[in-house]
Amino acid sequence: MFETTRTYQTRISAEADEVLSDYATLMARVEHCLFADFTKGKKLTDLKSSYLMQFGITARQFNAVRVRLEGKIHSIQQRQSQLIEEKKQQIAALEERVAKILDDQLLHQKRRRLAALRHKLKKLETEKNAGHISLCFGSRRLFHKQFHLRENGYNAHADWKRDWQDARKGEIFTLGSKDESGGNQTCTASVSGDGSISLRVRLPDSLAIKHGKYFVIPNLRFAYGHEVIMTAIQNCQLRRDLQLLNDPNYKNLGQAITIRFKKCPKGWYVLISTDISLPRPITSKEKGVIGVDINSDHLAVVEIDRFGNVLASHTMALPPKSATHTQWRAAIGEASKQIISLCEKTQKPLILEDLDFQKKKAQLREKHNSYARMLSSFAYQSILTHLKSRGASKGIQVHGVNPAFTSLIGRVNYARRYGLSIHHAAALCIGRRYLGLSERIPQGRRDIPDGKCGQITLDLPVRNRSRHAWQQWRQLSKKCSAALTAHFRTAPADPRAPRSS
């Protein structure tokens, strides 16, 4: 049985604001000092005893701060490698563009940008080799807003500073463990008689004089995941009961319940993370697959049988680029729900394009085509995350395939045959590729549609069976690009004006 971690949140009443604010302020001080000592080359685990005495906190509270800080440091180290690779991709794309520029003014600007990118790349590589970690508590974006107060809605520097301080001390992290009481020693959850959840927060010793040793937050209810959290709490309680009875089976029970408190403009929220068991897969590719092609304004969905034939096609609309973040999330959630429901009904796995988004995004600035605009204009990664997460919770297998030439193969081989749009034909190719079906160019066919109501005459050479089928599609793709470039260059500026003969 597979497991995954899910997080659920709910809002806390304003009565807890003073206690949680004092707690968060103290933990922020501990984290900032701990990072300062880390930059001096000190080992974090060796600082435990001194920090317990200096700040008046428990060992478990120190461990929570240390684990959280180590996670941030590890994330920054990974991001350093990604940024270096992105800069290399941007430099390569820009060098290719510079070689083709004829306009002197544009060439000058591109060379300036190229020099700036090379300088940034050198700086990133130097920082990585030296082990330097740059971490800004409160976010760099908010930090730089102090230099442009009016543009960012601040009347005075004091207004910005208040937001800056709130951002630096607006979160509390309590680390969970399956062998602790209630799955979390610092913040223990329990189920009340009315079915609500209560949290007993162990406050630092330095705050005990002002607020007491414990602080209870009662009557919490979660709109989503309430039953999951109750099950986790009961599992921890059963482990404790069996342990008191000296039953060795207690080791098989219990689960970690990690709890965070986060301050937002509307108040404090509690976020509870715990593991849940995923259902067994209910899908099989022997019944066929569901292929999805992701586009900037819609999702093209095609149901395919196990032989690679089209059974049905669907279109899931997405909002325009001008839509708000909330509208995007709602639309993506609804589209994901419909697609996963189709997979449940047909018991077929979901097949998506496995695109290296970071690598493609690094080259977008110097690309001028619809594919580049598509990647930069919508939450591609969010769509994949929604589909994979919802699919896992429903027992739907989700697989990714290389999307190379799927639009071209779909247009040439299947669009006319099945009466599909190019996007639905691409979704068909994505599903067929997972099934391992043929992708060859049709033998004897020489007139290939170019996608603009024109055709490309192609004399195919004698087939070389030692080469992959993508070799021929790559050659065809180059011919299509050349034909489309010529098409747009010869098009009149005014579409109503007659073409020159």
**Relative orientation angle of helices 59-98 and 104-130, to the nearest 10 degrees:** 150
Residue 453 resides in a domain? yes
The pair of structure tokens assigned to 147 is 């230099």
Pairwise CA distance, residues 107 & 99, whole Å: 9
**Relative orientation angle of helices 380-393 and 325-346, to the nearest 10 degrees:** 40
Pairwise CA distance, residues 299 & 382, whole Å: 13
Single out the residue in 277, 311, 346 at which a domain terminates: 277
> What residue ranges in 402-449 does DSSP mark as E strands?
447-449
**Does residue 76 sit in the same domain as residue 206?**
no
Q: Answer yes or no: are the C-beta atoms of 111 and 98 closer than 8 Å.
A: yes
Q: How many CB atoms lie within 10 A of CB 195?
A: 10
**Relative orientation angle of helices 59-98 and 17-39, to the nearest 10 degrees:** 60
- Evaluated on CA atoms 172, 174, 175, 178, the torsion sign reads negative
Residue 128 resides in a domain? yes
Q: Answer yes or no: are the C-beta atoms of 293 and 316 closer than 8 Å.
A: no
Of 392, 399, 391, 474, nearest in space to 430 by CA: 399
Q: Answer yes or no: are the C-beta atoms of 198 and 218 closer than 8 Å.
A: yes
Q: What are phi and psi of 238, to 5 degrees?
A: -65, -40
**Does residue 126 sit in the same domain as residue 235?**
no
**Does residue 201 sit in the same domain as residue 115?**
no
DSSP, residue by residue, 136-171: -TT-HHHHHGGGSTGGGT-SSHHHHHHHHHHHHT-E
Look-up of token digits 């162990």: 202
Q: Answer yes or no: are the C-beta atoms of 397 and 349 closer than 8 Å.
A: yes
User: CA Rg, the chain, in Å?
Assistant: 29
The sheet carrying 289-294 orders its strands as 310-317, 298-304, 289-294, 350-353, 398-401
Q: For position 27, what pLDDT does the model report?
A: 95
Q: For position 295, what pLDDT does the model report?
A: 83
- Residue 146 vs residues 155, 167, 263, 351, 447: alpha-carbon distances, Å: 11, 14, 21, 47, 62
Residue 154 resides in a domain? no
**Does residue 204 sit in the same domain as residue 266?**
yes
Distant-in-sequence, close-in-space partners of 48: CB < 8 Å, separation ≥ 6: 59, 62, 63, 66
**Does residue 291 sit in the same domain as residue 265?**
no
Q: For position 91, what pLDDT does the model report?
A: 92
* Domain interval for residue 273: 3-14+169-277
Pairwise CA distance, residues 163 & 146, whole Å: 10
Q: Domain total for the chain? A: 4
Residue 326 resides in a domain? yes
pLDDT in tens, the chain (501 residues): 567 889 999 999 988 999 999 999 999 999 999 999 999 999 999 999 999 999 999 999 999 999 999 999 999 999 998 899 989 988 998 998 898 888 889 999 999 999 999 999 999 999 999 888 889 998 899 999 999 999 999 999 999 999 999 899 989 999 999 888 788 999 999 999 899 999 999 999 999 999 999 999 999 999 999 999 999 999 999 998 898 888 888 888 889 999 999 998 889 999 999 998 888 999 999 999 999 998 878 899 999 999 999 999 999 988 877 778 788 888 888 999 999 999 999 999 999 988 766 655 655 555 555 555 455 545 677 888 889 989 998 999 999 998 888 888 888 888 888 889 989 999 999 999 999 887 777 665 555 655 555 555 555 454 555 566 666 676 666 666 655 555 445 555 544 444 443
Does this model's pTM top 0.85? no
Tell me the β-bridge partners of 257. 274
**Does residue 334 sit in the same domain as residue 433?**
yes
Q: For position 205, what pLDDT does the model report?
A: 93
Q: For position 227, what pLDDT does the model report?
A: 92
**Does residue 121 sit in the same domain as residue 70?**
yes
**Does residue 435 sit in the same domain as residue 448?**
no
Residue 162 resides in a domain? no
Pairwise CA distance, residues 501 & 492, whole Å: 12
Single out the residue in 140, 161, 195 at which a domain terminates: 140
Residue 498 resides in a domain? no
Residue 148 resides in a domain? no
**Does residue 435 sit in the same domain as residue 450?**
no
- Residue 106 vs residues 100, 101, 179, 329, 475: alpha-carbon distances, Å: 11, 7, 64, 38, 31
**Does residue 304 sit in the same domain as residue 428?**
yes
DSSP, residue by residue, 14-40: GGGHHHHHHHHHHHHHHHHHHHHHHHT
Give the count of alpha carbons within 13 A of 476, CB side only.
Answer: 31
Pairwise CA distance, residues 131 & 13, whole Å: 43
| CATH code of 330's domain | 3.30.420.10
Pairwise CA distance, residues 30 & 46, whole Å: 15
Pairwise CA distance, residues 160 & 449, whole Å: 58
Of 5, 11, 20, nearest in space to 270 by CA: 11
Residue 173 resides in a domain? yes
**Does residue 237 sit in the same domain as residue 334?**
no
Of 139, 96, 89, nearest in space to 117 by CA: 89
Q: How many CB atoms lie within 10 A of CB 304?
A: 27
Q: How many CB atoms lie within 10 A of CB 136?
A: 11
Q: Answer yes or no: are the C-beta atoms of 392 and 278 closer than 8 Å.
A: yes
The pair of structure tokens assigned to 475 is 């050659």
Report the relative pairing of strands 447-449 and 310-317 from DSSP bridges.
unpaired
Single out the residue in 248, 277, 306 at which a domain terminates: 277
Pairwise CA distance, residues 202 & 200, whole Å: 7
Report the relative pairing of strands 289-294 and 298-304 from DSSP bridges.
antiparallel
Q: For position 500, what pLDDT does the model report?
A: 41
**Does residue 447 sit in the same domain as residue 435?**
no
